[in-house]
């Protein structure tokens, strides 16, 4: 009995410490970004200029860059991820090749992002550049579009493996009932399976979105790192995470450093907002 | 049961101390800062360890980080590619000194069909990086390079996206040769660039240049030499077109130098000097007691600094770093001699 109490206390402490960690993180981010908050106030949020030479800092170009790349990545990745999940979770009956396919997508999730960056730089960027040359756009090769495609590839395994697992949980009777009523495979997938597990799928999509928001290395390598508001989908831009990674080590003035930390604070907040929205959606969609 | 919990806490508590105290050996010095001289420093430190058994733990976290860690007295010495300006000096609790260790240069590398050897004037360089010269067949470039058939290509500027001493040296040069640059952009480790794409690190810039025909960017001389990149000869203040090399960088430092050595070598007045060059420094507290060092450690540090600026210099050229010029070395000696501990001078051991 006594052992049980101790066990429970230890669990409480560990869980408590971990949650406290989040509060401490937020507090230290807030503390370190105070000089920048004092200097710019709310103007920081919609300031368009980022100029370390004259100590003038605004978040807007990076916020825009982050949101555009992540949303675009989501739009590109969801159809692919859903197809993979439906195939692996519902249609394939096990066997060698589907298993290999499953391992393959799961493996993609574990590849370090710098490798995605390299791959994109040497493979994807020339393709995009060729396309841009033919389309008559300035052939940078790098930019928002390229970054979004890399991000999409990176988050597909997250979305597809979670979706696959929830699709597997759909009761066999439901699927068979649908088929027995004369529905085609597509109709069963569309009207039975997906509605049944939509909350799980949304959770997977949000996980992918969160990952896209914070992805640093791969994006930095292919987004072109221009600290002004992007003018088109193919223009170079910068994201919140990548500007921090770029400028943090050599930020010498207090204001520069604390502005970078304030970007981190907003990234933290952005992620929290996405998570809360996600939880609300999941709650609403849960099958009763 | 309570004992168990206490034990757990005590264990965690003491663990955090073990990692803290293990750094405080007497035969060990710690430093942090610039990445640019890191290959040279690590060679020098490993030779120094072989010769004197003193281990130097240097972390190449970037100049900004090195300066901050010295300010917080976490390290015994800092290292930086840009000197600390007067405003920055005020933030230190006590005076610090800059000791030059080696000089580096920034070269302009480009990707043009046939890899021609370009000659660039200051006005061409500032024009390109301000976005005013946008094509390679621009009459101004053609005038400086009469023997080269210039391609009908757009110029694409590649710059560093990460804060960097390389960017500082380059923008310092541009600020000196162009009023417009000075007014619109200025000098710094990170800038608000008028045109171009950003890439991370020397490797990122080099990779981008190699991929895009018509691209031009700036990288460290060492990086360009090691990777056999083509780079331009740049016209200096005396009107000579100078190829970047170890010799022309050392020559750039062969000028009147201030006693505190906080000096930029860009746009040098030396006739054969390459104009986009700069020192890299080790920073220490002038009174080492203020840096939180023990007397023994302070003496170790003085020995190391002397060795780095003398015996250690022979490792520079093989690694493509420019060794200190005679003038610079004299100045460095004077600065090392001026370092004290608790107001008292430390021993100098030249033959050590």
The answer to whether the Cβ–Cβ distance between B163 and A140 falls below 8 Å is: no
Q: Decide if B328 touches A, using CB distance below 8 A.
A: no
The answer to whether the Cβ–Cβ distance between A226 and B198 falls below 8 Å is: yes
Which residues on A lie below 8 Å from B193 (Cβ)? 226-227
User: Which tens digits make up the pLDDT trace of B288-332?
Assistant: 999 999 999 999 999 999 999 999 999 999 998 999 988 899 999
The CA distance from A209 to the nearest CA of chain B, in Å, is: 25
Residue B23 clears pLDDT 60, i.e. is over it: no
The answer to whether the Cβ–Cβ distance between A53 and B186 falls below 8 Å is: yes
SS (H, E, C) chain A: CHHHHHHHHHHHHHHHHHHHHHHHHHHHHHHHCHHHHHHHCCHHHHCCCEEHHHCEECCHHHHHHHHHHHHHHHHHHHHHHHHHHHHHHHHCCCCHHHHHHHHHHHHHHHCCHHHHHHHHHHHHHHHHHHHHHHHCCCCCCCCHHHHHHHHHHHHHHHHHHHHHHHHHCCCHHHHHHHHHCCCCHHHHHHHHHHHHCHHHHHHHHHHHHHHHHHCCHHHHHHCECCCCCCCCCCCCECCHHHHHHHHCCCCCCHHHHHHHHHHHHHHHHHHHHHHHHHHHHHHHHCCC
CATH architecture, domain defined by A35-287:
Orthogonal Bundle (1.10)
The answer to whether the Cβ–Cβ distance between B207 and A121 falls below 8 Å is: yes
Q: What value does the mean pLDDT take over residues B176-187?
A: 95
The CA distance from A253 to the nearest CA of chain B, in Å, is: 8
The pLDDT value recorded for residue B10 is 53
Question: What is the percent of chain B with per-residue pLDDT over 90, rounded to a whole number?
Answer: 73
Of A2, A50, A256, the CB nearest to B1: A2
With both helix axes pointing from N to C terminus, report the angle between A60-86 and A144-168 in degrees, rounded to the nearest 10. 40
| Domains, chain B | 2-104+278-345 (3.40.190.10), 105-275 (3.40.190.10)
The pLDDT value recorded for residue B289 is 94
In sequence order, what are the residues at sequence separation of 6 or more whose Cβ sits closer than 8 angstroms to the Cβ of residue B117? B148, B230, B232, B233
Q: What value does the mean pLDDT take over residues B29-57?
A: 93
Which residues on B lie below 8 Å from A4 (Cβ)? none
Predicted TM-score (pTM) of this structure:
0.84
Q: What value does the mean pLDDT take over residues A172-182?
A: 91
The answer to whether the Cβ–Cβ distance between B64 and A251 falls below 8 Å is: yes
The answer to whether the Cβ–Cβ distance between A246 and B190 falls below 8 Å is: yes
Q: Which of A157, A166, A156, A169 lies closest to A203, judged by CA?
A: A166
The pLDDT value recorded for residue A110 is 87
The answer to whether the Cβ–Cβ distance between A251 and B156 falls below 8 Å is: no
The pLDDT value recorded for residue A122 is 87
Q: How many CB pairs under 8 A join A and B?
A: 102
- Half-sphere exposure at residue B166, Cβ-oriented, CA atoms within 13 angstroms: 26
The CA distance from B88 to the nearest CA of chain A, in Å, is: 8
Q: Which of B289, B310, B279 lies closest to B82, judged by CA?
A: B279
């Amino acid at each position: 009995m006594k052992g049980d109490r101790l066990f429970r206390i230890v669990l409480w402490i560990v869980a408590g410490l971990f949650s406290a960690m989040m509060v401490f993180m937020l507090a230290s981010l807030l503390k370190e970004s105070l000089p920048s908050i004092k200097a710019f106030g709310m103007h920081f949020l919609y300031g368009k200029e980022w100029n370390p030479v004259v100590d003038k800092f605004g978040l807007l170009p990076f916020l825009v860059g982050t949101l555009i790349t992540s949303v675009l990545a989501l739009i590109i990745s969801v159809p692919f991820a859903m197809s993979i999940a439906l195939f692996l979770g519902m249609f394939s009956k096990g066997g060698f090749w589907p298993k290999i396919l499953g391992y393959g997508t799961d493996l993609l999730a574990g590849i370090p992002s710098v490798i995605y960056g390299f791959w994109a730089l040497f493979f994807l960027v020339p393709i995009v550049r060729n396309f841009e040359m033919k389309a008559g756009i300035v052939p940078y090769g790098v930019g928002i579009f390229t970054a979004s495609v890399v991000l999409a590839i990176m988050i597909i395994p997250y979305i597809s493996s979670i979706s696959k697992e929830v699709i597997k949980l759909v009761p066999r009777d439901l699927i068979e009932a649908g088929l027995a009523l004369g529905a085609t495979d597509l109709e069963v997938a569309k009207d039975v399976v997906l509605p049944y597990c939509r909350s799980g799928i949304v959770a997977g999509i949000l996980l992918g979105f969160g990952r896209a928001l914070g992805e640093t290395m791969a994006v930095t390598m292919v987004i072109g790192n221009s600290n002004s508001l992007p003018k088109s989908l193919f223009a170079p831009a910068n994201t919140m995470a990548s500007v921090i990674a770029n400028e943090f080590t050599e930020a010498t003035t207090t204001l520069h450093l604390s502005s970078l930390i304030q970007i981190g604070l907003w990234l933290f907040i952005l992620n929290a907002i996405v998570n809360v929205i996600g939880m609300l959606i999941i709650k609403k969609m849960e099958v009763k | 049961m309570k004992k168990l919990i206490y034990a757990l806490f005590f264990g965690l508590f003491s663990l955090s101390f073990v990692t803290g105290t293990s750094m405080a050996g007497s035969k060990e010095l710690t430093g942090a800062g610039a990445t640019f001289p890191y290959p040279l420093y690590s060679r020098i430190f490993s030779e120094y360890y072989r010769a004197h058994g003193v281990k130097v733990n240097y972390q190449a976290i970037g100049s900004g980080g090195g300066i901050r860690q010295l300010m917080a007295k976490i390290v015994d010495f800092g290292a930086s590619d840009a000197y600390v300006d007067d405003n920055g000096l005020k933030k230190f609790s006590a005076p610090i000194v800059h000791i030059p260790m080696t000089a580096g240069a920034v070269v302009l590398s480009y990707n043009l069909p046939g890899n021609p050897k370009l000659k660039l004037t200051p006005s061409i360089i500032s024009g390109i990086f301000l976005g005013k010269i946008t094509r390679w067949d621009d009459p101004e470039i053609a005038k400086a390079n009469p023997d080269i058939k210039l391609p009908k290509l757009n110029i694409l500027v590649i710059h560093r996206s990460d804060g960097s001493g390389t960017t500082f040296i380059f923008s310092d040069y541009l600020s000196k040769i162009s009023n417009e640059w000075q007014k619109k952009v200025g000098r710094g480790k990170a800038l608000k660039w008028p045109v171009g794409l950003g890439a991370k690190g020397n490797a990122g810039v080099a990779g981008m240049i190699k991929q895009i025909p018509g691209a031009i960017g700036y990288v460290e001389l060492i990086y360009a030499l090691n990777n056999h990149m083509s780079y331009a000869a740049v016209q200096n203040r005396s009107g000579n077109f100078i190829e970047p090399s170890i010799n022309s960088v050392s020559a750039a430092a062969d000028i009147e130098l201030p006693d505190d050595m906080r000096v930029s070598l860009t746009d040098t007045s030396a006739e054969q000097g390459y104009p986009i060059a700069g020192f890299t420094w080790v920073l220490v507290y002038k009174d080492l007691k203020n840096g939180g060092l023990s007397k023994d450690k302070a003496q170790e540090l003085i020995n190391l600094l002397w060795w780095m600026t003398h015996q250690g210099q022979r490792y520079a050229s093989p690694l493509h770093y420019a060794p200190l010029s005679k003038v610079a070395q004299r100045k460095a000696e004077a600065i090392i001699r001026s370092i004290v501990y608790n107001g008292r001078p430390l021993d100098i051991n030249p033959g050590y």
